Each structure stands twice: as C-alpha cells, then as structure tokens.
Amino acid sequence: MKIALVIGISVTVFLLSGGYYVFMKACHRERELNWEDPLSLGKSQWAPLADKIAEVVQYLNDHNTLDVYTVSNDGLSLRARWLPAEDAKGTILLFHGYRSCGLSDFSMVIPLYHGMGFNLLIADQRSHGKSEGNFITFGIREHRDVLSWVAYHNENLGKLPVYLGGMSMGATTVLMAAGRELPDNVRGVIADCGFTEPYEIIAQVMASVHVPAFPLLQIAGWYTKIFAGFGLREYSTVRAMDTCKVPVILLHGTEDHFVPCRMSKAAFDACHSEKQLLLVDGASHGTSFPTDRSRCETALTDFLLGHLTN
C-alpha cells in the first residue's frame, strides 16, 4: 500500500513537473538575439540569413524608420517600426513568427512591398523585441494585438487600405485576427506557413522529438491558463476562417516539416471569403518566397494591387 502511494505520488510529481517544463519551454519569454549585430547572428541558427538581415537593416536605416507604440487590450506596451512610403497606396502590417523578428522573417519582402508604394508597420509581437510581455500565446492574445495596431494605424497614420501579413506564428496571428470584426479599410490577409492552433503545433513539435503529447500537453494547458491566461484550444485559424470576410492568400512549402502544409490547407478549406492557396514545391518552413521567388512575387503583387478597393 505504501509502495503504491509512493509510486502514485512520484508519477504525479513527474507529470506535473513535465507539464510545467513543456509550458515554460514553449511559452516563457527567453533572452533574445541582437538582430542588428552580425557577430551575434553569425553564431546563431540564423547565420544563413545574416547577410540578408544586414541588408534589410541597412535598408530600414537608410529610409529613416520610426519606432511607434500602442497598448494591447491587456495593458502591454507594443512596439513597431514604421516605414512610410511616398504617396503610399496603403499600409501592410507585418507580424513575425515564434521567437523570431521582422528583420529575419520579412528580410526579402520588405524592399519589395516598400518599393511597390506601401507603408510598412513591422511589429514586435508581444514577448518579443521591444514589446512587453512574459508569455508567448501562439496567436491567442497576439491576434488581439493586431486589432490594436489596426486601430492605432487608423487613428494616427491615416485610414489608407490596410493588409495584414504574417509569417509562421505571425501567419496564425493574422488569420485569427481575420475572424474578428475588422475596420472596412482592411483589404486582405497574407499568411505564410501558419499553424492552426497552439495545441496542434506544440504536439507536432513534441512528436518530432519523440515525446508523446498526452498527458504532458494537457497538463501544460493547465499552466497556460493559470499563468499566461490562455487555453491551448481556445481559438484556431480554422474557426477564424469560418467567419472571415476579407480576401486571404495562404503560402506554404510542401517540405515544411515544422508546420506541415496540411495546417494551411485546413484554414483554406474552412475559409468562406475570397481565398488563394499557393503551395511551393520543395520549400521548407518559411522559405516559399526564396524557393520560388518569381511565382510568389507575382501572386503577392497581384493580391496587393488587386484588392486596394472594395
């Protein structure tokens, strides 16, 4: 009897500790790179992009970007870089991915979009960069931040046509935002390799390192609610697309083993508004644009210029 009790307590402690570790590993803010320091980048996993990031840093510096700030609905200070265009056609709000930044995720499209005549608002997602926050919520709270940035834009920068663009978790963020009520100047959403919901992507990553999701992820979900104020299945891109009213273009690489392209397909299938799905053969996670630049550039240009008016 005592042995059974000891075993039971030991298993319970192990599971509670394991669930807490999953929660903290997935959600807690970590020390970040100095994305503008080539030496730091060269020693990191981002080394292959170091030259391209340095180019876009120089581009932004040459065009005198400004830091702008807004406040989230739960009181966090959020920061973005504002890059105005002369005689702008509209504005693209850009939201980067998980533990990443706009300099890396949009290094190849920032000059393209800006050169087309679009203002850019390049956000630091909550718990990243110069934005406040201690926990990453995989789009659940971040998509409300998108609404805060749209409101900030319309109040302070002019009610031009607006597009929402995101990469990876940023794609999930903007797709979730598209399921909410948006101002009528939001013309469309560009979502590159987004996942469906927090639970599914964390389970996918755990499976990739041969760790079973059950029951650790269920336990981690208790901690996300207690400490970070969100549920792992609170909302999803599939649910958001069911109520989306704006045009959407989704991009995804067929060789993406981090966020499988089936997740973009699920969002596409659920979407009832005007939609387009661009699958890029051979592209891994976040590499659709460099893998098939010509095709992606044409699709994005047509999408942006084709929806400037309702």
User: What are 250-268's pLDDT values in tens digits?
Assistant: 999 999 999 999 999 999 9
Q: pLDDT per residue over 202-216, tens digit each?
A: 999 999 999 999 999
Q: How far apart are CA 129 and CA 99, in angstroms?
A: 9
Span 212-241, average pLDDT? 97
Q: pLDDT per residue over 167-209, tens digit each?
A: 999 999 999 999 999 999 999 999 999 999 999 999 999 999 9
Partner residues linked to 90 by β-bridges: 118
Residue at 174: amino acid letter: V
**Full-model pTM:** 0.97
Coil vs helix vs strand at 40 = helix
Helices (H), 164-235: 169-177, 198-208, 216-223
Distance of alpha carbon 190 from the chain centroid: 11
Q: pLDDT per residue over 124-166, tens digit each?
A: 999 999 999 999 999 999 999 999 999 999 999 888 999 999 9
Q: pLDDT per residue over 77-122, tens digit each?
A: 999 999 999 999 999 999 999 999 999 999 999 999 999 999 999 9
- Residue 37 structure tokens: 């320091």
